[in-house]
Structure 1
Amino acid sequence: MTISINDENINYTLEDEHDAGDILKGLTSWLEESGLLIGGLEINHESMPLNETEWKSIPIESIDNISIEALSLREGRVRQLETARDFFILLETAIKTGDEESLKELYEGFRDLKGILPHLLNEGPHPTILPHLEKVFEKGFKGTSSVSAAEAVQMASVLESRRRETASPESEARSSAKTLAEMAESLDDVAVQLQTGQDKTAMETIIRLTEILQMFMRSLSWLDGSDSVEEIMNDMNRVLSELEEALKEGDTVLIGDLLEYEIKPRLIKLPSGMNFSGGNG
């Protein structure tokens, strides 16, 4: 039997394996030790769907060759995000055209997708996107619903944004840093708004600020763990935790002080302080 990974034959000793499932279980563990995962599989030159199980029972005597596509964790995440994004693009089309057969099939697939969406969205301890999505679609996918179609478009957009953060983390982090530095110039105004009863206007800016900060932090998390990256992440996480606590307490004075004296100077310095490279492969 010939086993190849990314078109290169490997020396892999079989022991007590009886079928394709046994072999792949061992290879999966072996690859994970190197930070890799299986992205594609061919047995006897025939592509096998990883989300199905029929091929696992193929007896070892019937296998001449196994070909595996191995991906890094980041490459694997990008592929998952692309698949999830494309799911919602298909959903929008099916809703708009009222294709009931496709909607039924997509709803079956949605059950599996829901299991990995929290992982893909990476919202942190207080998720909002998936709970909202489940509420919108709690009674299934309905055709010709403009609201449902709009939700599908929004989800595809969110997942595409996550894909960019993962696929090109350095450029996305730098772009977010530039936006944050520009927003920082108006944080003095937000502090004043909080003190003069303009809470709604101030909170709109704070919400937008935290959204961009989360994008920035997610992008940084995919970069190589250099001292510069870790220093930025640790510092921003500390300040964000303080801001979150102040928001929970409704302490407008502390919120204003944090924005003006802690967060603003850090954001202004962000673009020039990002002394790292790599991660856009």
Structure 2
Amino acid sequence: MDISINGEKADITLESEKNIGEILAGLEYWLANSDPRYNEGFRLSGLSIDGHVIGADSLEDSFNRDIDSVDSIDITILSLAELVAEALLDSRQAIDEFNGCDFAGKRVFAEKWKTSPAALMISEESPDLYEIILNTFSGVGISVDGLTAIIDERLRELEFPAKELNDMNPVITEIAGRLEELPLDIQTGKDRRAAETVSFFSGIAEKIFRIFKLLKIRGFPVDDIRVAEILVSDYIGEFNDVIKELLQAYEQQDSVLVGDLAEYELAPRLRGLYAALNISSTEAA
């Protein structure tokens, strides 16, 4: 039996599988070991048996079909990154629909959007973005122009993670410098600037973590990177712990600890992580 995935013949050796359902059940393991794009998950989006497209109403019956009665299977799947990109594009279109609503329509738009497939996907994979979109559609968040800019940024991350990372260089330089200045800002009463620095840094760190995950999905050799002799995955874990400690100290108004963590821990860690990831992704691109 010939098995194709997204139109390409798949080198799958059947062992004890007896029906179509068992073949599909083993697909996750095969994909995870053959294509890094699917390591973070995938979903079945289409199935054809012997050239006949299987509809949703007959999908379950097809799972029970004996493989001895089948000559060919064509499976269509989407990676997690592709599914998220699709959800973001759908949300982009939802913004246009929202703008076209009258006052009454805008009042109920958020509830309608919450039940859409795009909203469900984004709530699972990007809870922070889900809240931003929902708040805008509820009339209590950022402007639709601001929301559009955020969605476009996430789409660029998905499509060109290495370029998006490289383009962050001036931002990294600025925020690392501001982290080193944070103790002085706190001491001299520049509370607004200090709050902006903490918020700005938190967002930049989250963006780096997102891009790291996307680079892995796209097959960039980032798992072997070492930062200060520490494997990058462990380094990110430690980095994230220090970020949580900073945010907790900031909420508790522990200005001494906030200043020390920002200047002596987070600024050098940010520079080191960014440099290591950027060099690796640029060389592999």
Report if TM-score (shorter chain) is over 0.5. Answer: yes
Structure 2 residue 55 is the aligned partner of structure 1 residue 55: no
Stretches of structure 1 that go unaligned for 5 or more consecutive residues are 122-126, 139-146
Deviates more, 1:223-232 or 1:22-31: 22-31
Partner of 1:115: 120
User: Does structure 2 conserve the Cα–Cα contact (< 8 Å) formed by 1:5 and 1:68?
Assistant: yes
The DSSP-based 3-state class of the residue aligned with 2:280 is coil
Partner of 1:180: 172
User: Does structure 2 conserve the Cα–Cα contact (< 8 Å) formed by 1:164 and 1:172?
Assistant: yes
The DSSP-based 3-state class of the residue aligned with 1:247 is helix
Structure 2 residue 170 is the aligned partner of structure 1 residue 165: no
Give the 3 Å change call, closer, same or farther, for CA 161–236 of structure 1 in structure 2. same
Percent identical = 24
Structure 2 residue 233 is the aligned partner of structure 1 residue 226: no
Q: Residues of 2 paired with 1:165 and 1:108: CA distance?
A: 24
List per-residue Cα deviations over 1:46-70 (Å, max 9, x = no partner). Answer: 5567xx4543334737855321245
What amino acid is the match of 1:66? Answer: I
Partner of 1:67: 74
Q: Residues of 1 paired with 2:264 and 2:26: CA distance?
A: 54
Please give the TM-score of this superposition, normalised by the length of structure 2.
0.69
Give the 3 Å change call, closer, same or farther, for CA 199–231 of structure 1 in structure 2. same
Give the 3 Å change call, closer, same or farther, for CA 237–57 of structure 1 in structure 2. same
Give the 3 Å change call, closer, same or farther, for CA 181–231 of structure 1 in structure 2. farther
Stretches of structure 2 that go unaligned for 5 or more consecutive residues are 217-221, 227-231
Partner of 1:12: 14
TM superposition shift of 1:149 = 11
Alignment of 1:36-47 (within 5 A): 36=38, 37-38=42-43, 40-43=45-48, 44-45=50-51
User: Does structure 2 conserve the Cα–Cα contact (< 8 Å) formed by 1:191 and 1:255?
Assistant: yes
The DSSP-based 3-state class of the residue aligned with 1:237 is helix
Give the 3 Å change call, closer, same or farther, for CA 192–90 of structure 1 in structure 2. same
Q: Residues of 1 paired with 2:151 and 2:173: CA distance?
A: 25
TM superposition shift of 1:252 = 1.6
User: Does structure 2 conserve the Cα–Cα contact (< 8 Å) formed by 1:4 and 1:67?
Assistant: yes
TM superposition shift of 1:207 = 0.6
TM superposition shift of 1:259 = 2.0
The DSSP-based 3-state class of the residue aligned with 1:220 is helix
User: Does structure 2 conserve the Cα–Cα contact (< 8 Å) formed by 1:177 and 1:216?
Assistant: no
Deviates more, 1:246-255 or 1:269-278: 269-278
User: Does structure 2 conserve the Cα–Cα contact (< 8 Å) formed by 1:77 and 1:166?
Assistant: no
TM superposition shift of 1:215 = 0.6
Q: Residues of 1 paired with 2:204 and 2:238: CA distance?
A: 16
The DSSP-based 3-state class of the residue aligned with 2:3 is strand
TM superposition shift of 1:133 = 4.2
Aligned mate of 1:239, from 239, 242, 251: 242
User: Does structure 1 conserve the Cα–Cα contact (< 8 Å) formed by 2:4 and 2:73?
Assistant: yes
Partner of 1:143: none
List per-residue Cα deviations over 1:19-71 (Å, max 9, x = no partner). Answer: x556533444554565644554341445567xx45433347378553212456
Q: Residues of 1 paired with 2:178 and 2:13: CA distance?
A: 61
Aligned mate of 2:183, from 169, 191, 194: 191
Q: Residues of 1 paired with 2:132 and 2:73: CA distance?
A: 42
Q: Residues of 1 paired with 2:271 and 2:282: CA distance?
A: 23
Give the 3 Å change call, closer, same or farther, for CA 22–188 of structure 1 in structure 2. closer
Give the 3 Å change call, closer, same or farther, for CA 55–155 of structure 1 in structure 2. farther
What amino acid is the match of 1:90? Answer: Q
Partner of 2:219: none
CA RMSD of aligned residues (A): 3.9
**Matched length:** 257
TM superposition shift of 1:203 = 0.3
The DSSP-based 3-state class of the residue aligned with 1:250 is coil
Please give the TM-score of this superposition, normalised by the length of structure 1.
0.70
What amino acid is the match of 2:9? Answer: E
What amino acid is the match of 1:276? Answer: S
List per-residue Cα deviations over 1:193-213 (Å, max 9, x = no partner). Answer: 212322122101221121111
TM superposition shift of 1:225 = 0.7
Q: Residues of 2 paired with 1:148 and 1:202: CA distance?
A: 25
User: Does structure 2 conserve the Cα–Cα contact (< 8 Å) formed by 1:168 and 1:279?
Assistant: no
Q: Residues of 1 paired with 2:21 and 2:83: CA distance?
A: 22
